[in-house]
Amino acid sequence: MTDGTDDRVQVWLVERTYSDDEQNLIILTYATRDGEQYFRKERALTSFTDVRDTTAAVETDPGNLGAVEDPDLREQYAAEAQRMERAHDPGDVI
């Protein structure tokens, strides 16, 4: 019997944006090295003392990944994920 961690997928930070719809919301987009799948995290900034590190990479369940349909975006995500992997360890705070 396995604990399920073997099925997790490592994704790399490729984009950090601020939401236009919500105040104080940061959207972190992580992608696979090939840029074909992405994982999105949303973080509310509640205060300056609310410290939550953003790391270069995270691991997630495959069911949490979405497909990157746009070829140009897929290429951009792949390039950025590979650059992040070359420049950082997965646990590096970005």
Of the pLDDT bands very low, low, confident and very high (cuts 50, 70, 90), residue 1 is very low
Whose tokens are 């601020």? That residue is 18
Domain map of the chain by residue range? Answer: 5-87
pLDDT tens for 9-41 read 999 999 999 877 657 788 999 999 999 999 999
Nearest alpha-carbon partner for 28 in 39, 43, 16: 16
pLDDT tens for 33-70 read 999 999 999 887 765 556 678 999 999 999 999 999 99
Confidence (pTM): 0.84
Burial 11-48 (b: 16+ CB within 10 A, else e): bbbbeeeeeeeeeeebebbbbbbebebbbebeeeeeee
Nearest alpha-carbon partner for 81 in 9, 10, 31: 31
Q: Which two tokens stand for residue 79?
A: 């390039």
Whose tokens are 């590190």? That residue is 53
